[in-house]
Structures are given as C-alpha cells and as structure tokens.
Amino acid sequence: MTSQDKYAVFGNPIKHSKSPAIHAAFASQCGQSMQYRAVRVETGDFERAASNFFAGGGKGLNITMPFKEDAFRFAGRLSERAQRAGAVNTLTLADDGVIEGDTTDGVGLVRDMVANLGWMVQGRQVLIIGAGGAVRGVLEPLLRERPGLLVIVNRTAARAEQLATVFSDLGPVEGGGYGIIGARQFDLVINASGAGLAGELPDLPSSVLTERSCCYDMVYGPEPTPFMRWAAHHAAWAVSDGLGMLVEQAAQSFYIWRGQRPETQSVIARIRQSMESA
C-alpha cells in the first residue's frame, strides 16, 4: 500500500459526519498513513462522483444516506451480506481492479451490543422496530447470533412481513404490524424506526419490557433519545444509543481496507465527549 492512500465518505448532508474523526483516530492508532475526507454528493450524481474518485486513485469509500442503494448498484462484486441487505456502505478497490461492495452496519450493531455492552443475543427474544433500509442491513448479522425469536414490527405491516420472509432461512423471524406484539415480552428491543430518526417515539406498549430488557436506539446524539428516555422510565435493565454502532461499523470498514482491527472503546469515548462538549 502506498503512503497517504485516499478514502472518503459520500453523503448528503455530510457536514456533521463523524467518520473523518473516527478514521483519523483509527489510522493514528494503527500506524496507517491515509487520507479520509467527507464529500457532499448531489442527488443523482453518485455514479459519476464514485467513478471519478476511484479513477483518481481512491482506495475505498464509506457511503451514508441517501446513497446506499446507489452504491449497491455501482459495485462490481457484492458480499453475501450486501446482497441480502440490498444496500452497500463500504466500497473497496480490490487487487483485481473490481469495486467490491459490502455492508458493515449489522456487524457494527452486533459488535457494539455483544462486545461493548455485554448484551446477549443468542437464545433471546428480540424485537426490532421498523422495516426500512436500516433494518434490512442488520438482520443477517443479528440472525447469525441465533436469537430464540426475532420479531419485526412496522406501521406498514406488509414491509415487515416481506423482510421476515426474505430472511426466514437464517432463523426464527416474524414480521407484521404492531398488533402482532400482543402480550409478548422481549429481552432485547431495537429501535430502527422512522419515528426514531425524526426524534419521535414509536407506538410501542411498555408491556413489551421486563426488568431484564435491554433497549438499543440506532440513532445517537449528545442527549438521550426519546426512545431511550421511554425505556429508562419503564425500568429497562440497560439502555444505549447507536454511537457505538457508528464506530464499530467504521472499524469493520477500516479492517476491510487496511487489514487491521482498531481498538474502539477509546474512540467511542472520545466522540461521545466531543458531542457533549459541543
């Protein structure tokens, strides 16, 4: 690898991206010489921008909203995870010149919950709220952890049902509207709903929680999210936002690109501190 290999994150908006700071910390920690910058790409211009980036010597791209499906179509070769997700957040220039597409979101989520937070997925009853791209991107790694049951609920029941069907070969999974929750309780509740992105609460009964439930919000910020506050109010055992997922999915991208797995705990703490002091 040459010195100062070029990497970037493409998105729109992108101004407040934490990715350059995260990858700078990884590079410093691992002794890697690389450039990483955030690039705002106009809607409809992804293919041209990505082609120019790689033609100009770029080695890898992270992709954030709204271009993950564009990146899926752009990649010349896809990982099994990316094929399942129908979206790509990591593009890599392979040794044979082919642009490879992968998705690291689900790996990041599972690693944050299991390795960082010490939560168990195996054998547990898991509820995931939402059926959009964020959910589709994490289902395979979650099901690989062998939960006892994974239930997907969404305001539009058909979308949750479709996801359950697509991923049913990986483990016990159900999908539908909020009505399928009934009187069931869950060990792990993950909020990936559009309501969460908008800073609103999903339409969830508190009866889903037990005193041992862990609640994870895939969004993050300097203050606890409405979902985190709701979970804490109803006495969930443990509550977390998605900052660790952000750092862990970046660490997986870094590993794909550079072949080294950075330590993440100190980076999560540093990014958290910078958000709280901003």
Q: In this predicted model, what pLDDT tens digit does every residue of 129-170 receive, in sequence order?
A: 999 888 999 999 999 999 999 999 999 999 999 999 999 999
Q: Tell whether residue 132 is among the known ligand binding residues.
A: yes
Q: Tell whether residue 11 is among the known ligand binding residues.
A: no
Q: Tell whether residue 18 is among the known ligand binding residues.
A: yes
Q: Output the pLDDT for position 126.
A: 98
Q: Tell whether residue 158 is among the known ligand binding residues.
A: yes
Whether residue 278 has pLDDT greater than 90: no
Catalytic residues: 68
Measured CA to CA, the distance from residue 144 to residue 188 in angstroms comes to 15
Pairing of strands 99-102, 90-93: antiparallel
pLDDT in tens, 13-40: 999 999 999 999 999 999 999 999 999 9
Q: Output the pLDDT for position 4.
A: 86
Q: Output the pLDDT for position 276.
A: 87
What is the number of residues in the chain? Answer: 278
Identity of the amino acid at 214: C
Q: Output the pLDDT for position 53.
A: 98
Whether residue 1 has pLDDT greater than 50: no
Q: Tell whether residue 242 is among the known ligand binding residues.
A: yes
As a whole-number percent, the residues of the chain with pLDDT over 70 amount to: 97
Q: Output the pLDDT for position 68.
A: 94
Measured CA to CA, the distance from residue 199 to residue 196 in angstroms comes to 5
Q: Output the pLDDT for position 198.
A: 67
Whether residue 124 has pLDDT greater than 90: yes
For 182, other C-beta atoms within 10 Å of its C-beta total: 9
Q: Tell whether residue 64 is among the known ligand binding residues.
A: yes
Measured CA to CA, the distance from residue 174 to residue 152 in angstroms comes to 6
Q: Tell whether residue 34 is among the known ligand binding residues.
A: no
As a whole-number percent, the residues of the chain with pLDDT over 90 amount to: 88
Measured CA to CA, the distance from residue 234 to residue 260 in angstroms comes to 41
Go through 118-145 and write b for each residue having 16 or more CB atoms within 10 A of its CB, e for each that does not.
Answer: ebebeebbbbbbbbebbbbbbbbbbbeb
Domain boundaries, the chain: 5-102+244-277, 106-240
For 51, other C-beta atoms within 10 Å of its C-beta total: 12
Q: What's CA 211's distance to the chain center, in Å? A: 27
**In CATH, what number does 106-240 get?**
3.40.50.720
Q: Are 271 and 247 in contact (CB under 8 A)?
A: yes
Lowest model confidence (mean pLDDT) among 28-32, 69-73, 165-169, 192-196: 192-196
Q: Confirm whether 5-102+244-277 and 106-240 share one CATH topology.
A: yes
CATH class of 5-102+244-277: alpha beta
Measured CA to CA, the distance from residue 101 to residue 76 in angstroms comes to 7
Q: Output the pLDDT for position 105.
A: 95
Q: Output the pLDDT for position 45.
A: 97
When the pLDDT of each residue in the chain is averaged and rounded to a whole number, the result is 94
Measured CA to CA, the distance from residue 18 to residue 9 in angstroms comes to 10
Nearest C-alpha neighbor of 46 from the set 18, 67, 30: 67
Q: Are 261 and 253 in contact (CB under 8 A)?
A: no
Mean of pLDDT values over 198-220 = 88
Nearest C-alpha neighbor of 119 from the set 238, 246, 266: 238
Q: Tell whether residue 130 is among the known ligand binding residues.
A: yes
Q: Output the pLDDT for position 2.
A: 46
Q: Output the pLDDT for position 245.
A: 97
Q: Output the pLDDT for position 196.
A: 59
Q: Tell whether residue 2 is among the known ligand binding residues.
A: no
Whether residue 270 has pLDDT greater than 90: yes
* Bridge partners, 149 (sequence order): 125
Measured CA to CA, the distance from residue 166 to residue 231 in angstroms comes to 30
Mean of pLDDT values over 84-111 = 96
Q: Output the pLDDT for position 3.
A: 61
Measured CA to CA, the distance from residue 34 to residue 258 in angstroms comes to 10
Q: Tell whether residue 220 is among the known ligand binding residues.
A: yes
| pLDDT band, very low/low/confident/very high, at 197 (cuts 50, 70, 90) | low
